[in-house]
Amino acid sequence: MKHRYRHPSMALALAVSLVGTVSAQEVVREGVSTEYQTFDLVRVASGLSHPWAVAFLPDGRQLVTERSEGMVVIEDGTQTRVTGLPDFHATNQGGMLDVVLHPDYENNGWIYITYSRGDRRGTVPALIRARLDGHELVDVEPLFESNEYTRPGRHYGSRVVFLEDGTLLMTIGDRGAEPPRAQDTLDHSGSVVRLNDDGFVPDDNPFVGDDAYAPEIHAYGLRNIQGIALHPGTGEVWATDHGPRGGDELNLIEAGNNYGWPTVTLGRDYRTEEAFPDAEARHKEGMVEPVFEFLPTLAPSGLAVVDSDRFSAWEGNLLAGGLRAQRILRLVVEDQTVIHAEELLHGDVGRVRDVRQGPDGYIYVLSDESDGGLYRLEPR
């Protein structure tokens, strides 16, 4: 049986506006030296308001979401605001969030967007798809929203990745107020959901037919995944999850797994640094442990797998962005074990919100600042 969530009508923006123009190809740092690769750090765009995600159109333009402002198209340094967006709720950590192109975008034109949707009950992470006509979203289709409205507006998760079979994964945070919801298998909060590209539930989801689980759930027991990536060589799905004080995790996401939050956690209570109050232990049988714990705290957001001739020395490595840490960690993984880590761009761009490899083979980085920027790593 297939399931789908339907939404009420969506309020649409009405006018196209030119945001501004910045100089393209502005070199911020030349000859950044790392263990195996030297690169230039190039600012592609500035003046972005807390940008959250970047996607790359086939014609060379970039789509960038701004958490509280919406979305812009960047073309040769010129930023133009996108209209036709859903009515999003930009409070606290909510707003316009992820943006991802369908793998067959050149034939179907679908763009997938996550955002926080709100009403008198609170907010939920939601997913739509639409097409871009000039600078306007058209053919907008609501696909999914989490099944429990929540206050306050925290821990949305909301990263999207397409799998090799054409389905997609969307991460949903535990929403912050009641962490044990991540262990409630009828609540989407604290989970990764798997959907067909039209928003329906795949028949082979791990819990389809089990009344004790929401059928969309692919994996659960997670706190707030804001980095997820498909490894093109292995088909593995890697994700970075925020811990409380400490306990930031790198996880290998597999169908049906319970990753333990908050029953087990390596993190501590924010106020006391004692054991997290909802935790029973640091480890527990039947709950999957992280592959790697980020120490010191990374506050992870944005994750990319390097698969580019331009960065052949980093082939297969993970690049994990850090908000509080203001850096990227390059992780070398062998046999599902992190064997080496290197710090990149410490403090060079500020809080790192997103890390993506573009279709041109360059690495792109978004900084989560009120005057944020889109940066490109160009190897020498």
For residue 268, the 8-state DSSP code is B
For residue 61, the model assigns a pLDDT of 97
Other CB atoms within 10 A of residue 297 CB: 18
217-220 and 225-230 strand pairing: unpaired
Rounded mean pLDDT for each run of 10 residues along the chain, 380 residues in total: 37 47 75 97 96 97 98 94 97 96 98 96 97 97 96 95 98 96 98 98 98 98 98 96 95 98 94 90 94 96 97 97 98 97 97 98 97 97
> How many whole angstroms separate alpha carbon 148 and alpha carbon 217?
14
For residue 6, the model assigns a pLDDT of 35
> How many whole angstroms separate alpha carbon 187 and alpha carbon 174?
9
pTM of the complete model = 0.94
Query: CA geometry: angle at 258 spanning 103 and 100, to 5°?
Result: 20
Q: Cα 309 vs. chain centroid, distance in angstroms?
A: 24
For residue 18, the model assigns a pLDDT of 62
Distance, first Cα to last Cα, the chain: 53
How many CA atoms lie within 13 Å of 353's alpha carbon, on the beta-carbon side? 25
For residue 20, the model assigns a pLDDT of 55
Provide the 3-class DSSP secondary structure of residue 187.
coil
Residues 6 or more apart whose Cβ sits within 8 Å of residue 165? none
Catalytic, out of 89, 102, 155, 188:
155
Residues 6 or more apart whose Cβ sits within 8 Å of residue 142? 5, 6, 7, 10, 86, 126, 127, 128, 199
> How many whole angstroms separate alpha carbon 360 and alpha carbon 163?
21
- pLDDT for 312-339, tens place per residue? 999 999 999 999 999 999 999 999 999 9
Tokens coding 157: 């998760």
**Among this protein's residues, is 155 annotated catalytic?**
yes
Tokens coding 202: 């795949």
- pLDDT for 12-21, tens place per residue? 333 345 665 4
Partners of 191 in the β-ladder: 172, 220
For residue 271, the model assigns a pLDDT of 85
- The helix or strand, by DSSP H or E, that contains position 355, with its residue range, turns out to be strand 352-357
- Whether 21 contacts 46, CB under 8 Å: no
Residue type, 110: W
- Whether 350 contacts 368, CB under 8 Å: yes
